[in-house]
Structures are given as C-alpha cells and as structure tokens.
C-alpha cells in the first residue's frame, strides 16, 4: 500500500512538473505583452493562480474542519492543518507578487484597496489559527480548536473574492458575467497557470499530510518505548 502511494505521488509530481513547464511557456512565450503595462503584467498569471490556491486551500480546510467535528478522525485534522498552512503560504505570495505588480502600475507598493485589505485580514486570521492550534493543549483540543477556527474563518474568503464587486476599488475585475476580460492567448496562459498551481497544491497537501502522519507515528512509537522502560 505504501509503495503504491509512493508511485502515485511520483506520478503526480511528474504531472505537476509538466503542467508548470506548460504554464511557463504559456506565460512567457505564448501570452502577448500587454501594451500599457508591458512585461510586468506577466505577474498577473501567477498572482491570480496564487490567490486561487489560497481560496481552494481554505475551502478544503473548512470542509476538513467540518468532517473532523463530525467524525473526530485525526486524518481530517491533518488535512485541515496542512491546507491552512498551504493556503496561508499562497495567499502571502499573492500579496507579495501583487505588490511587485502594483509598484510600477499604481506607483505604490500598497494601497488600502478593499481586495488587498480583506486579503491581509484573511492572512492574519489564518496565521492566528496556526498559532492557536499550538496553544490548544492536548492533541484532541488542538484539533477541535483548529477545526472550529477553519470553519469560521472561511466566512472571509467569499468577502475577499467579492470585495472588488461590493466596494469601489482600483483592483481590476478579470472574471465578469460575460466571461474572462482578457485576450484568448492571455486566457490560455491564465488557465495553464491555474491548472499548474492546483496540481502543485495537491502535491504539497499530499506530502504535508504524509509528514504529519509520520510525525504522529514517531511520537506514538517514542511514547511506547518510554512507557516500556523499567
């Protein structure tokens, strides 16, 4: 079973590498240079993909938290914790590369735009979630705290997505009721990046859960060895 899982993971890693290569080609070769912003606009493809992975990861964490509260299975706690970590990482990347994009376009690294502000609040919340898990005490209590916070925190995710539609903002709107507001080749590059980053998320989640299970098994073995000593 373990060998089969390793083989599946290797296939997934190889597939992810291919998708990333396709994404790089699409972004830097296939996609045209934006006439106003120039080459800096190419950050857009990975900025959106990073934000998407953040949303996806927090959704998975929310579902994992609900399933943990319903079943008390530590596997779902591992999924929740791992997904929060990955979601926080990619949301932070979205903030950083967004600032790199904003500097030459908006002439500032940061503005209290509704989308940026709600994203920052989201990152701070999930950072606090990870810290509170460490202060939860017992393994069961930490898992319960993490599950509840992950479920409650997801309320902010739709607000982040809808911020540019709910309030007046300078942040561009890409997805409209008429479709994507980009040229066909730009859309190909964007979709390739979204697909590559999604596969990367699945890889990272898989590996992080494996690390968590190995850590749990090691701790249990160490506890048994300590208890068996005279």
Only one residue has tokens 């709107």, namely: 173
| Residue 53 counted as domain residue | yes
For the ranges 28-37, 59-68, 133-142, which has the lowest average pLDDT?
Answer: 133-142
Q: Tokens for 7? A: 């083989």
Mean pLDDT is lowest, of 60-69, 115-124, 135-144, for 135-144
In a domain, 221, yes or no: no
- Cα 198 from Cα 56, distance rounded (Å): 8
Q: What is the pLDDT of residue 207?
A: 93
Residue 47 pLDDT > 90: yes
Residue 68's pLDDT band (cuts 50, 70, 90): very high
Q: Is the pLDDT of residue 230 over 60?
A: no
> Nearest CA to 149 among 131, 162, 173, 175?
131
224: in domain: no
Q: Is the Cβ–Cβ distance between 119 and 160 less than 8 Å?
A: yes
Residue 90 has pLDDT above 90, yes or no: yes
> What was the pLDDT predicted at 175?
72
> Is 166 inside any structural domain?
yes
Quick check: is 7 in a domain? no
In whole angstroms, give the CA distance from residue 23 to residue 45.
9
Give the per-residue pLDDT at 183.
84
- Looking from the CA of 52 toward its CB, the CA atoms found within 13 Å total 20
Helix (H, G, I), strand (E, B) or coil at 132: helix
pLDDT for 143 beyond 80: yes
In a domain, 160, yes or no: yes
Would residue 194 count as lying in a domain? yes
* CB distance 54 to 94 below 8 Å: yes
Domain contains 27: yes
Region 30-41: mean pLDDT is 88
In sequence order, the β-bridge partners of residue 179 are: 176
Question: Domain containing 171: what range?
Answer: 19-31+40-213
> Which tokens sit at 24?
């790089």
What is the tally of structural domains in the chain? 1
State the DSSP code for 30.
Answer: I
More confident residue, 53 or 133: 53
pLDDT at 29: 93
- Which pLDDT score, from 0 to 100, does residue 228 have? 63
Residue 158 CB partners (closer than 8 Å, separation 6+): none
What torsion, rounded to 10 degrees, do the Cα atoms 92, 97, 100, 103 define? -80
């Amino acid at each position: 079973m373990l060998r089969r899982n390793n083989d599946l993971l290797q296939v997934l890693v190889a597939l992810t590498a291919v998708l990333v290569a396709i994404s790089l080609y699409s972004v830097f070769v296939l996609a045209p240079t934006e006439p106003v912003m120039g080459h800096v606009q190419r950050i857009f493809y990975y900025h959106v993909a990073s934000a998407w992975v953040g949303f996806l990861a927090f959704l998975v964490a929310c579902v994992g938290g609900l399933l943990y509260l319903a079943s008390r299975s530590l596997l779902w706690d591992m999924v929740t914790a791992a997904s929060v970590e990955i979601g926080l990482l990619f949301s932070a990347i979205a903030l950083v590369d967004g600032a790199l994009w904003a500097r030459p376009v908006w002439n500032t690294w940061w503005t209290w735009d509704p989308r940026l502000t709600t994203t920052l609040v989201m990152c701070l919340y999930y950072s606090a979630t990870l810290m509170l898990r460490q202060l939860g005490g017992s393994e069961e209590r930490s898992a319960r705290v993490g599950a509840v916070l992950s479920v409650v925190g997801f309320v902010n995710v739709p607000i982040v997505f809808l911020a540019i539609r709910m309030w007046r903002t300078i942040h561009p709107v890409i997805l409209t009721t008429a479709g994507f507001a980009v040229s066909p080749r730009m859309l190909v590059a964007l979709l390739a990046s979204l697909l590559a980053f999604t596969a990367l998320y699945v890889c990272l989640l898989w590996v992080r859960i494996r690390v968590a299970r190995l850590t749990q098994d090691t701790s249990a073995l160490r506890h048994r060895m300590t208890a068996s000593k005279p």
